[in-house]
Structure 1
C-alpha cells in the first residue's frame, strides 16, 4: 500500500497539469468540423452532384409501388 500512494500522487498531479487542454481541444475540433462541413457543402452544391441527387430523388418519388 505504501508504494501505491506515490503512483497515485503522480497520476493526480499529471491530470492537474492538463486542465487547460480541454478548451484548446474543443476549439480544434470545432474548426475541423467547420472545415469539413464547408468542403462537404461545396461538393454537394456543385452542378454534377446536385443534378445527380435530383435525378435519384426524382426517380425515387416517381417509383411505382
Structure 2
C-alpha cells in the first residue's frame, strides 16, 4: 500500500510544497522591485529634464566632439 501524499505537495516533488508556499513572497518581491524601478526611472526623467543637467550634458558632448 502506498502512503497518501500531503495535500500541499505536488506530484513528483519532494519539497513538501515549499515551492508553492514561496510563490506569493516571490510575487511580492517582483512587484516591489518593479515599483522601485519605475519610481527611480521617473526620478531620472525629472532630473534629466532640468535645464542645468541638460546644459551639463550638452557641454560634455560638445567637449567630447571637439577634442576628437
TM-score (norm 2): 0.65
Specify which structure has the higher proportion of helix.
1
1:24 corresponds to which residue? 28
Q: Distance in 1 between matches of 2:67 and 2:22?
A: 57
* Structure 2: segments with no counterpart, 5+ residues: 1-14
TM-score (norm 1): 0.68
Q: Over aligned residue pairs, what C-alpha RMSD do you find?
A: 1.7
Does residue 52 of structure 2 align to residue 48 of structure 1? yes
- The runs of at least 4 consecutive aligned structure 1 residues that moved more than 3 Å come to none
Q: Distance in 1 between matches of 2:39 and 2:24?
A: 24
Does residue 67 of structure 2 align to residue 63 of structure 1? yes
